[in-house]
Chains A and B, each alone.
Chain A
């Protein structure tokens, strides 16, 4: 089977669509501009030591400590210059994870755009890497890297990735990310429950030096732009960093020095050191649960009337939605939005001047509408009830919400919801009284894997268009991306985007396809079925 297009992101005046490990760039008229391909030759990933990664199943919650065994045999090979591709065994493990023997390239697992549309960020799954692209408009992107990289405007040159390029591999697999409102910082939430801040554009010189023995001291250096440490009453923000999680920038020289200390440090300690990312990374907060989604919301400051403050909203597999202050006070939990009785998979801060409203969904039958600043449930809206009425779904006993997209729509706020394995988009309207009014189930010719909205800029018609990559499962040849718009009450028209670039196709079994693109339901706890 061939891979479906599975992610879509509108970024400024361009649209990006991911398929496997490729990212295709389009203009807002869906003219194909370029394609970024995951570098075939793996770049050096200094921060990664091989052999600690085991195939991860999404249902696995928390550190699988038992399975994370450091195999002594492979330890020998681990040094600061280890390339992943050298390690045959690691390669085969990765392949096993996706069961795509012919292809070792990790899939694009998340696609994000900064608010100003000037950067596109992708997460690739199995290598836990965050890729940042500068977007100069019209779909023209340039990969930024931690230290230095060639600029690639011609996608066909992408095979020649310089060995100096070091992408940022996170300590644990990122599940979701977002940006601070100034678009300077990425907030990445991971599978093991932690949220890290990393600068969107890494400083070109790895300035910060650590002591040769960071394991003992672990004192990190510069972590936040000075402008963020504005609150005088906050003690040194870098103090909020435990030794074991103290990450910082390490130069090659430092790694060398470390290597020389191999004997005194002991093998395992060194291994741990090598596992640490070699770039600026700050631990902000953490749940003891797998994080599923992270969002940023703003609210008026409690002190200065005219100012607004940022908050970080995180959702986990254990039904929690946590509201923490933004940087540099992310260690302060303001509240929890509690009420879900199953996993939360999606959050959506309402647009259109309604930022105080948060919509959440997951394994429960309903969507929840929150006053997230006051930790207060405002209303609930049924999803399962409407899914069950959808032809062919009458016998369902549970659902998993996969996407919640809210956008300004017809002078109101439209909320579009997708549910795993349901060939429809559920359309709601967020009313001024903070309830979600159900409008209709819009049938689509396949399983929606993602959704975004394009407000055709430059035209006077405000009519937005939805972009939905669909998976056909049985008839893969027809997998496509459709655009949808409304023509009158309860009438929608959709059309496939023509001439989608195909790319080299990867063979994938239907089971594997299900595991990768239809895995939200696996967040549910097994005890729920008892």
Chain B
């Protein structure tokens, strides 16, 4: 029937659009309407996720191509290396970890010169990542998002922004312009509730952002919340001593819930208000996330809480 055809056309349009966005040189920013997806993905189901069995087997080179450490010296310095060819595609996403079953020896990973240090858990459409990137240009930032098309949106957004920034620095010319922003930011599709330790080693991160997480109001859905006593242990595991968990939400109950769980966890202490407000990341978190903007439009309250990872006691 007619309805069906319209639906198909719509899907076709979406696919065409997103295929076009895949081109490397594209500098047009992606449009959200082609990437919308239903609000929730069940974190308990298997999905079809790609993740490395061990952080050492994670191929970061396709996410941060400008940081690749070349084994052989190369001549072109300013040229970004070609992005990793797609060897395996699962449900439309581009692979970041290629699992090559047929060859006994996995191809050597292309190493990058730095480790990811900042993670945005459930990054949504990536507003925080984009805003953070220029403020810490020497730090690798990673967004993690469970929804496929939302992740794709952020990936395309980063690609476009990188291209724009590069073009700008070229036209403005010389050494004055920045060498190209957004090279330090990447995004991955992942279920962080299950697979955080597959991507990050112990104490690898200095900052973890949990911005406007899904509230899961119903009590029987509380187990799906991205903050819990047991998950706090995993955030503590990936964070180094002194590292910070940033939380923000417009839902008072959820704010209380997060405070209660991190406060009760012996590995964390709440960061005082003075220090909190002095942290530039807090301002960015308030204003730059998509959810934060939405709350702003509705003139809602935003509740912020920061927690510091403490040194582990002796054992």
Contacts and interface: CB of A to CB of B under 8 A. Distances in A.
Interface stretch (A34-42, A332-340, A353-361, A417-425): A332-340
Interface stretch (A125-133, A236-244, A403-411): A236-244
Interface stretch (B65-73, B177-185, B207-215, B259-267): B259-267
20 contacts: A63-B224, A65-B42, A192-B223, A194-B230, A234-B266, A242-B260, A272-B219, A286-B229, A286-B231, A287-B230, A288-B43, A303-B315, A320-B197, A331-B236, A331-B266, A332-B233, A333-B202, A338-B53, A338-B54, A375-B202
Interface in A328-382: 329, 331-333, 335-336, 338-341, 375
A237 B220 CA distance: 25
Interface in B257-315: 257, 260-261, 264-267, 312-315
Contacts of A233: 313-314
Given A234-B313, A239-B265, 20 more contacts: A62-B42, A63-B224, A65-B42, A65-B220, A192-B223, A194-B230, A235-B266, A244-B222, A245-B229, A272-B219, A272-B220, A285-B230, A285-B233, A286-B228, A303-B315, A318-B195, A320-B197, A329-B315, A527-B46, A527-B48
A335 B203 CA distance: 10
A302 B312 CA distance: 12
B234 A333 contact: yes
Contacts of A340: 53
A526 B46 contact: yes
A240 B264 contact: yes
A239 B314 contact: no
A239 B264 contact: yes
A288 B193 contact: yes
Interface of B: 42-48, 53-55, 193-195, 197-198, 202, 219-224, 228-234, 236-237, 257, 260-261, 264-267, 312-315
Contacts of B223: 62-63, 65, 192
Nearest to A526: B46
B315 A309 contact: yes
| Top-8 shortest CB links A-B | A62-B44, A286-B230, A233-B313, A338-B54, A242-B229, A333-B237, A288-B193, A303-B314
Interface in A513-530: 525-527, 530
B53 to A, nearest CB: 5
Nearest to A364: B53
Nearest to A311: B315
Nearest to B52: A338
Q: What secondary structure prevails in chain A residues at the interface with B? A: loop
Given A194-B230, A318-B195, A240 B44 contact: no
A241 B264 contact: yes
Interface of A: 61-63, 65, 68, 192-194, 231, 233-235, 237, 239-245, 268-269, 272, 283, 285-289, 301-303, 309, 318-320, 322, 324-325, 329, 331-333, 335-336, 338-341, 375, 525-527, 530
Contacts of A527: 46-48
Given A239-B264, A318-B195, A231 B46 contact: no
Contact of A288 (B194, B232, B261): B194
B40 to A, nearest CB: 11
Given A62-B45, A332-B315, A68 B236 contact: no
B194 to A, nearest CB: 5
Contacts of A268: 219
A324 B233 CA distance: 10
Nearest to B232: A331
A421 to B, nearest CB: 23
A282 B54 CA distance: 30
Contacts of B197: 320, 322, 336, 338
A319 B49 CA distance: 13
Nearest to B91: A527
A193 B313 CA distance: 25
Contacts of B53: 319, 338-341
Nearest to A290: B44
B278 to A, nearest CB: 26
Given A239-B266, A333-B237, A61 B228 contact: no
A340 B264 CA distance: 33
B136 to A, nearest CB: 27
B228 A242 contact: yes
A61 B229 contact: no
A338 B98 CA distance: 17
Contacts of B202: 333, 335, 375
A166 to B, nearest CB: 25
Pick the most buried of B232, B260, B265, B315: most chain A CB atoms within 10 A of its CB.
B315
Contact of B313 (A231, A240, A242): A231
A68 B315 CA distance: 40
A313 to B, nearest CB: 14
B220 A68 contact: yes
A61 B232 CA distance: 21
A530 B53 CA distance: 19
Nearest to A272: B219
Contacts of A301: 314-315
Contacts of A322: 197
B93 to A, nearest CB: 14
A273 B80 CA distance: 59
A186 B231 CA distance: 22
